[in-house]
Chain A
Amino acid sequence: GIQVEQSPPDLILQEGANSTLRCNFSDSVNNLQWFHQNPWGQLINLFYIPSGTKQNGRLSATTVATERYSLLYISSSQTTDSGVYFCAVVGMNRDDKIIFGKGTRLHILP
């Protein structure tokens, strides 16, 4: 099955800093999503982005499908951005299931 690798595994930043989170996947995908799990455990959709670029406020994401990676950018980080960021993909085959990366844990210091 598809392998999903996220980097870095952990990231500690000062409030106001910018960050880039990466998701590499081993095969072509039909679906790619980014999620944020806040410190209370709630999973929140950020982007559905199998290709191209999207922006939502301070967050943006770019997926380069031909090179099998996606990037999540967080600008002007706030403490509420802390938590774990997951990338999840679904392959191109009909029977492919959704596969999550292990996540990047982001800690924004006040």
Chain B
Amino acid sequence: EAQVTQNPRYLITVTGKKLTVTCSQNMNHEYMSWYRQDPGLGLRQIYYSMNVEVTDKGDVPEGYKVSRKEKRNFPLILESPSPNQTSLYFCASTPLGGVDTQYFGPGTRLTVL
């Protein structure tokens, strides 16, 4: 089954404790991206990747890092989480450079205390 998976689905952590949210897709898509969703602000892109070892900033990259060592994986790293990073996070993948239908993961609800 074609899908995008994220882990964990729910996470409560404390300020400053490094965490990683994993994202994996099994569709051999080149383009992957991370979004955060906040009430009243909709979805905003954090980072995206056009292919392996190619990453770029989205609209709200501050406080986040990503890596794309393999085509299927695109982890989101919060080196020192802060309460303003409490949000619902989505990973997505697309076959053709972002100009095509996006497939979203199930979401990760992160709370930073």
Contacts of B59 in A (CB 8 A): 97
Whether B44 and A100, one on each chain, are in contact in the complex, defined by CB atoms closer than 8 angstroms, is yes
Instruction: Tell which of B11-19, B22-30, B72-80, B96-104 binds the partner.
Output: B96-104
Q: Are B99 and A90 in contact (CB under 8 A)?
A: yes
Give the chain A neighbours of B48 by CB distance below 8 A. Answer: 97
Q: Mark B36-80, 1 if CB is under 8 A from A, else 0.
A: 000011111100100000000011000000000000000000000
CB neighbours (8 Å) of B106 from chain A are: 41-42
Is B42 within 8 A of A43, CB to CB? no
B100 touching A31, Cβ below 8 Å: yes
Annotate B92-112 by CB proximity to A: 1 below 8 A, 0 otherwise: 100000111111101101000
- Is A68 an interface residue when CB atoms closer than 8 A count as contact? no
From A41, A48, A86, A101, contact of B88 by CB (8 A): A41
- Check if B45 sits within 8 Å of A97, measured CB to CB: yes
**Is B101 within 8 A of A33, CB to CB?**
yes
Alpha-carbon separation in the docked complex, A20 to B70 (Å): 42
- Say what secondary structure dominates the interface of chain B: strand
- Give Cα A43–Cα B107 distance, bound, in whole angstroms: 9
How many interface residues does B have (CB within 8 Å)? Answer: 24
Chain B residues in 8 Å Cβ range of A90: 98-99
Question: Which residues of chain A from 49 to 89 have a CB within 8 Å of any chain B CB?
Answer: 86, 88
Taking A41-B88, A41-B107, A42-B107 as contacts, is the C-beta distance between A98 and B33 under 8 angstroms?
yes
Option from A42, A45, A97 in Cβ contact (under 8 Å) with B102: A45
Selected A-B contacts with CB under 8 Å, 21 pairs = A30-B99, A31-B99, A31-B100, A35-B102, A35-B104, A41-B106, A41-B109, A42-B107, A43-B90, A43-B92, A43-B104, A45-B102, A90-B98, A97-B58, A98-B102, A100-B35, A100-B42, A100-B43, A102-B40, A102-B42, A103-B42
Residues of chain A whose beta carbon lies under 8 Å from any beta carbon of chain B: 30-31, 33, 35, 41-45, 48, 86, 88, 90, 97-98, 100-103
